[in-house]
Amino acid sequence: MNETASGTAIGPLDVTRVMAALPHRYPMLLVDRIESLDPEKGIVAIKAVSMNEEFFQGHFPGRPIMPGVLQVEALAQAAGVLAVESLGLAGSGKLVYFMSIDNVKFRKPVEPGCLLRLEVEFLQKRSRVCKFAGRATLDGEIATECEFTAMIADPPA
């Protein structure tokens, strides 16, 4: 799948395309690649969880687990790519800010060595505010799920 016509799914996209859509950089960039993106529906992205991640030094020594808030952040970043790409804002400098996070559930620990599959779909899409449903899966099993709302805005002056 690699079409670019409006309303047509695109992908896969590498990390350079992710960085073109998001302002995040190491250590806060939590999306490694895009498997597919349908501008009208949703996105599937991948986060390769590595033992080299800084947060594993303290969460938890002897039992490394990716913090749940970072799993939600990874879903939000995937949604940010979806919003920016679907609204034609790539390269515009626009930012995507969290407004709310609802119904978060953590179902399975995320450990080093995992490929976290980030699936996000639009629940509502407007020019400045979008609502999403997201879930992160490991080998087909849900690790994290949530709904969240984000606002698209100009960067601070």
* SS3 of residue 112 by DSSP: coil
Q: Is 24 a catalytic residue?
A: no
Q: Tokens for 73, please give them.
A: 């952040």
Separation of alpha carbons 132 and 105, rounded Å: 15
- The residue annotated as part of the active site, out of 59, 125, 131, 135, is 59
Q: Which residues contact 145 (CB under 8 A, 6 or more apart)?
A: 103, 104, 105, 107, 133, 134, 135, 136
Give me 95's structure tokens.
């930012």
Contacts of 78 (CB under 8 A, 6+ apart): 31, 34, 43, 45, 118, 120, 134
- What number of residues does the chain have? 157
**What are the catalytic residues?**
59
